[in-house]
């Protein structure tokens, strides 16, 4: 037995049998501590389970979504691309709300905590936060701010008729109100079909759920590490040993092994005291390692945010930095679509006299000529992708009933009855939101009442295709579904370009559905998500209008800073389906490009093993309608990501989303600051 030195009233005694008393007392205290911690953990879980809806999650979700909304408006006006921001929202929301939830004001019952929500921040609350943020962030696309509204400004006076070229702020608010809500209501009945019956994958929603689980798996651990260390430190002090926190766990494990060998017993045959120590130490080690890992991730997020935002801020005062052709060789080596469009076809059209204006002119230049080819590629691949999707579903449904019955056996719904959205809610909401859409768009754009009604019916139909495509391929074909409505409206309202564009906008609004899978996987309340999406959609009306007015009043739109390429795509599509193609000798190129692009989805479906090696028709189309200065940085980012994956796959898996989020949020946030600088008349330094 060991001798233990104990000091009592200044006198040191050594007794062999004291060790038993000390160990028994310590073991009892440790067991009581574990029982208390387990009880706290169960109580915390109970709080998270019962608080499906909290105002603190909604408020933080609106703020995070508002920031992403400004960022989406910035990138959307530049390139036509936006991000739903579900991963970023879950990550940023976790960081913010974790601090808020830990504040003493929300830890004890009071008026504020009862109003906002109290207790620990759990995964279901994060789902609510993320759903609210995504609904707030996506209005730049769902409301047509990065495509349809600028497209109206590109129309000729004859095409536009009595519609104003520049919309007033109140008109933009009404426009957003007309498009904001019916997509949220229509998502409710799709949940049972796509999630519970067909069990579609929804890769992005699954990835978001996984990130939330990882975040809260580390953070929801309620064991108090400081108290655990106190218990262990007491034991070490009694033994007369001194150890640092970083070395204590390995040393205790070594002591356990040595002690077991001295007693002639195996490590598996430990005393209750040793098992208790091992349990606490293992739990603490995992907690410390996870905390250190997330500390590194937050640091990476801050650094990338600062680098990206700082570059934009410095570039405002020294504009030449933003115009430097960085990594052009990367673009020439990888961006084949840019090479084909801008290095081959564009110069051919210019030199052959098929274009008469400057290269960057949308109407008469090489840019406008290439836009028709890009449009045919987008149209062919989008429509063929939807056709292949519908065909595969039909084949599975009618020709393979065994697989269909196995696949569509309805899954158990984890949501409790009181967490469901009542049928009367979504039906009445769909009727009311559709009525608002008709009531607003009819006088605002001088349309017959039947045209918005047909557009809404089309939007509901194509939304089913869009959500199914999103669930199976993780690609939301908003471009394709908008083009379907434009084709139909060319037959319903021929030669009416404005109504054609409005129909496309309504279709896009109905096609944006998100977070159907995330809430299901984490057993969150569908009703809480529904409320969060409604609140986020309402808030997005004002965020989107503010962001759009800020950028369009500060910069020339379209212009060098914000070319708004998708506006040209919408206008040309409306003109093409109405028989107005003005580009010379472009039809043979459009025909070949459209046929090749249409074959790609068919080949991908027929030869799934080779799908990753087939080129992207959408990528080629983007390379045609975006000028090289916008595509090159994205190509460079893709190449860096590929090299990162090949060389350091584990680091890439852990940090890729963090790095990308920091870069996107940094540039998007600082773009707001620089726009305010320009609006205030603060000049560049050089």
Per-residue DSSP letters for 44-91? HHHHHHH----HHHHHHHHHHHHHHHHHHHHHHHHHS-----HHHHHH
List the one residue out of 176, 138, 132, 205 whose CA is nearest residue 533. 132
Cα dihedral 647/650/652/653 (nearest 10): 150
Residue 388 lies in a domain: yes
Residue 412 lies in a domain: no
| DSSP string for 95-132 | HHHHHHHTSGGGTS-SHHHHHH--S---HHHHHHHHHH
pLDDT at 46 over 50: no
Among 73-77, 89-93, 630-634, 668-672, the minimum mean pLDDT is found in 630-634
Residue 85 lies in a domain: yes
12 phi and psi angles, rounded to 5 deg: -100, 125
Residue 258 lies in a domain: no
| CB distance 571 to 160 below 8 Å | no
pLDDT in tens, 5-37: 544 445 544 444 444 444 455 555 655 565 555
Strand (E) or helix (H) holding 575: helix 565-577
* Terminal Cα distance for the chain, rounded: 80
pLDDT at 541 over 90: yes
- pLDDT number for residue 259: 44
In Å, how far from its chain's centre is CA 375? 26
370/372 Cα distance (integer angstroms): 5
Cβ density class 121-152: b for 16+ within 10 Å, e for less: bbbbbbbbbbbbbbbbbbbbbbbbbbbbbbbb
Angle at 226 between CA 230 and CA 33, to 5 degrees: 70
Residue 170 lies in a domain: yes
pLDDT in tens, 113-161: 666 666 677 888 889 999 999 999 988 888 889 888 888 888 888 878 7
Give me the mean pLDDT over the 206-226 stretch.
Answer: 61
β-pair partners for 15 = 4
Number of domains in the chain: 1
Per-residue tokens: 685 = 């330094």
Residue 451 lies in a domain: yes
**pLDDT-derived band of residue 450, with 50, 70 and 90 as boundaries?**
confident
Residue 294 lies in a domain: no
What range does the domain containing 77 cover?
47-223+307-396+420-680
The pTM of the full predicted model, rounded to 2 decimals, is: 0.74
Residue 622 lies in a domain: yes
Among 18-27, 93-102, 126-135, 525-534, the minimum mean pLDDT is found in 18-27
pLDDT in tens, 608-654: 788 777 777 777 777 776 766 666 777 777 788 888 888 888 888 77
Q: How far is CA 207 from CA 19, 201, 204, 517, in A?
A: 52, 10, 5, 10
List the one residue out of 310, 172, 316 whose CA is nearest residue 683. 316
Q: What is the DSSP letter of 585?
A: T
Per-residue tokens: 556 = 């020339």
pLDDT at 544 over 70: yes
Give me the mean pLDDT over the 576-601 stretch.
Answer: 81
Q: Which residue has the tokens 């579900």?
A: 86
pLDDT at 443 over 50: yes
Q: What is the Rg, in whole angstroms, of the alpha carbon atoms belonging to the chain?
A: 30
- Cis-peptide, bond into residue 558, ω within 30° of zero: yes
Give me the mean pLDDT over the 539-565 stretch.
Answer: 89
pLDDT at 2 over 80: no
How do beta strands 4-8 and 11-15 pair? Answer: antiparallel
Q: Look at 180 and 287; give whichever has higher pLDDT.
A: 180
pLDDT at 549 over 50: yes
Task: Work out the angle between the directed axes of helices 55-79 and 526-554 (0-180°, nearest 10).
Answer: 40
Q: Which of 359-363, 399-403, 490-494 has the highest mean pLDDT?
A: 490-494
pLDDT in tens, 75-84: 889 877 777 7
β-pair partners for 13 = 6
Query: How many helices (H) and strands (E) are present in the chain, helices listed first?
Result: 30, 2
pLDDT at 326 over 90: no
pLDDT in tens, 260-282: 444 444 445 556 655 655 665 66
| CB distance 510 to 190 below 8 Å | no
372/391 Cα distance (integer angstroms): 28
Show the beta-strand stretches assigned E in 538-675. Answer: none
**3-state secondary structure (DSSP) of residue 201:** coil
Where residue 617 falls (left for φ over 0; alpha for ψ -120 to 50; beta otherwise) is alpha
List the one residue out of 377, 378, 361 whose CA is nearest residue 369. 361
Give me the mean pLDDT over the 454-474 stretch.
Answer: 76
656/650 Cα distance (integer angstroms): 10
């Amino acid at each position: 037995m060991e001798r233990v030195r104990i000091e009592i009233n200044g006198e040191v005694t050594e007794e062999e049998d004291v060790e038993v008393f000390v160990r028994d007392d310590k073991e009892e205290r440790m067991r009581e501590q574990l029982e208390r911690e387990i009880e706290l953990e169960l109580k915390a879980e109970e709080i998270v389970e019962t608080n499906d809806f909290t105002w603190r999650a909604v408020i933080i979700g609106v703020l995070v979504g508002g920031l992403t909304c400004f960022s989406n408006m910035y990138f959307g006006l530049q390139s036509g691309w936006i991000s739903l921001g579900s991963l970023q929202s879950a990550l940023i929301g976790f960081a913010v709300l974790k601090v808020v939830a830990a504040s003493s004001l929300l830890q004890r019952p009071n008026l504020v905590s009862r109003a906002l929500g109290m207790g620990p921040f759990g995964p279901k609350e994060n789902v609510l936060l993320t759903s609210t943020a995504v609904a707030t962030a996506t209005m730049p696309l769902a409301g047509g701010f990065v495509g349809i509204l600028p497209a109206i400004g590109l129309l000729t006076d004859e095409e536009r008729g009595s519609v104003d070229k520049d919309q007033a702020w109140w008109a933009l608010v009404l426009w957003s109100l007309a498009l904001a809500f019916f997509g949220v209501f229509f998502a409710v009945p799709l949940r049972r079909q796509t999630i519970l019956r067909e069990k579609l994958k929804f890769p992005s929603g699954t990835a978001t759920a996984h990130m939330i689980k990882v975040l809260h798996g580390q953070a929801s651990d309620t064991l108090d590490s400081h108290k655990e260390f106190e218990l262990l430190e007491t034991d070490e002090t009694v033994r007369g040993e001194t150890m640092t926190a970083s070395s204590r766990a390995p040393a205790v494990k070594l002591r356990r092994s040595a002690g077991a060998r001295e007693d002639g017993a195996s490590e598996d045959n430990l005393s209750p005291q040793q098992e208790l120590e091992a349990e606490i130490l293992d739990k603490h080690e995992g907690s410390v390692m996870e905390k250190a890992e997330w500390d590194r991730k937050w640091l990476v997020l801050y650094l990338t945010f600062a680098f990206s935002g700082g570059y934009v801020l410095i570039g405002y005062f020294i504009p030449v930095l933003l115009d430097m052709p960085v990594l052009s060789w990367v673009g020439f080596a990888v961006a084949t679509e840019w090479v084909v469009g801008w290095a081959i076809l564009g110069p051919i059209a210019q030199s052959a006299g098929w274009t008469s204006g400057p290269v960057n002119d949308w109407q008469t230049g090489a840019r406008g000529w290439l836009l028709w080819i890009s449009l045919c590629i987008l149209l062919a691949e989008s429509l063929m992708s939807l056709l292949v999707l519908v065909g595969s579903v039909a084949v599975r449904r009618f020709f393979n009933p065994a697989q269909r019955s196995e696949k569509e056996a309805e899954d158990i719904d984890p949501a409790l009855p009181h967490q469901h959205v009542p049928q009367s809610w979504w039906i009445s909401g769909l009727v009311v939101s559709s009525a608002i859409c008709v009531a607003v768009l009819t006088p605002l754009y001088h349309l017959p009442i039947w045209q918005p009604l047909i557009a809404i019916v089309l939007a509901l139909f194509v939304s089913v295709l869009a959500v199914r495509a999103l669930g199976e391929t993780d690609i939301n074909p908003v471009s394709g579904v908008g083009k379907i409505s434009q084709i139909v409206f060319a037959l319903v309202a021929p030669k009416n370009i404005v109504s054609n564009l409005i129909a496309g906008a309504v279709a896009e609004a109905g096609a944006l559905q998100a977070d159907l899978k995330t809430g299901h996987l984490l057993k969150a309340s569908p009703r809480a998500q529904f409320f969060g999406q409604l609140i986020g959609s309402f808030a997005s009306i004002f965020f989107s209008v503010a962001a759009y007015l800020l950028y369009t009043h500060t910069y020339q739109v379209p212009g060098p800073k914000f070319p708004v390429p998708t506006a040209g795509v919408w206008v040309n599509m409306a003109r093409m389906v109405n028989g107005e193609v003005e580009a010379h000798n472009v039809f043979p190129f459009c025909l070949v490009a459209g046929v090749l692009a249409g074959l790609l989805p068919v080949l991908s479906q027929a030869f799934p093993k080779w799908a990753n090696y087939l080129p992207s028709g959408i990528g080629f189309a983007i390379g045609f309608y975006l000028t090289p200065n916008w595509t090159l940085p994205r190509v460079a980012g893709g190449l860096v990501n590929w090299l990162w994956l090949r060389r350091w796959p584990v680091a890439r898996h852990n940090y890729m989303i963090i790095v990308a989020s920091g870069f996107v949020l940094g540039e998007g946030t600082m773009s707001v600051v620089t726009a305010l600088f320009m609006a205030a008349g603060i000049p560049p330094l050089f």
